[in-house]
Homo-oligomer: A and B are copies of this chain.
């Protein structure tokens, strides 16, 4: 298994059991409330009507009429896409979420990481995470649409795009495949729900690969309710925006420089990321560092009742 955030069990072994605050992921720590889940959602296979309802909810939330395939998390799409299309040269705009390159590589693609958007041109398949993880870098839809014409297939991973709909290609994906995560913004990553949006033929190919019941009954119930709750979404975006500023302030006072980040995580340049992670971990706050950068530390945003501990830990 590749390096990820969320490996809190390893932190517990190293730094002890207790009330951990897991800021090592970009998962919203204030989840959307769970709806009542009918017994049939657990017991029966999801039927076509339920799946169609989820697709409509996703189309409304993502402001699109494009074809939509519900999958068991954006990660499921990352696993499938490399095997759904003929292999060739893939380019990934990096550094970014490491599963894209890894899944492409495992499926037999030649994979190059490039540092600038225009350098993706010419690839048979190009991957852009927008906004990017971990640095929050953003690309305008026009730039991505231009790029889509210069590559065989463009994959835009919008796992962190819920708070910035103006950046999304979902309303008009054209020939791009757009990945959406449900679990991150809605704070329900354990549900395993995500979506791929794009042109009909590509979505049909992925649907054939995913099989008839890729998403659980409870995931359908929860997805339908949460995606329709635009009040919760608006309030959460406002809270996350305030919280991002608040965390940046604490980090600045600790002597960390903001590299970037979005509404769900912030990336800081620290004197020594491993030392900073350890300092937080001793106070049972778990963070994300990167094997390929000795100074960067990424933090998710605390829930309202977790700020006091985070402030104390960063004040020192």
Contact = CB atoms under 8 A, between A and B. Distances in A.
Interface string A188-231: 11111000000000000000111111111111000000000000
Given A209-B83, A214-B72, A190 B27 contact: no
A36 interface: no
A254 interface: no
A44 B214 contact: no
A99 interface: yes
Interface in A136-195: 183, 187-192
Nearest to A193: B216
Contacts of A79: 209-211
Interface in A21-70: 22, 25, 27, 29, 31, 34, 39-49
B47 A27 contact: no
A213 B191 contact: no
Contacts of A76: 211, 214
Contacts of A219: 216
A189 B75 contact: no
A8 interface: yes
A46 B41 CA distance: 21
Taking each of A40, A190, A208, which has the highest tally of chain B beta carbons within 10 Å of its own beta carbon?
A: A190
B211 A190 contact: no
A165 to B, nearest CB: 23
Nearest to A103: B211
A82 to B, nearest CB: 10
A215 B193 CA distance: 11
Contacts of A183: 45
B209 A192 contact: no
Interface in A75-108: 75-76, 78-79, 83, 99, 103, 106
Contacts of A99: 211-212
Interface of A: 1-2, 4, 6-10, 22, 25, 27, 29, 31, 34, 39-49, 72-73, 75-76, 78-79, 83, 99, 103, 106, 183, 187-192, 208-219
List of 8 A-B pairs having minimum Cβ-Cβ separation, nearest first = A190-B217, A79-B211, A9-B49, A192-B216, A9-B47, A6-B45, A45-B189, A42-B190
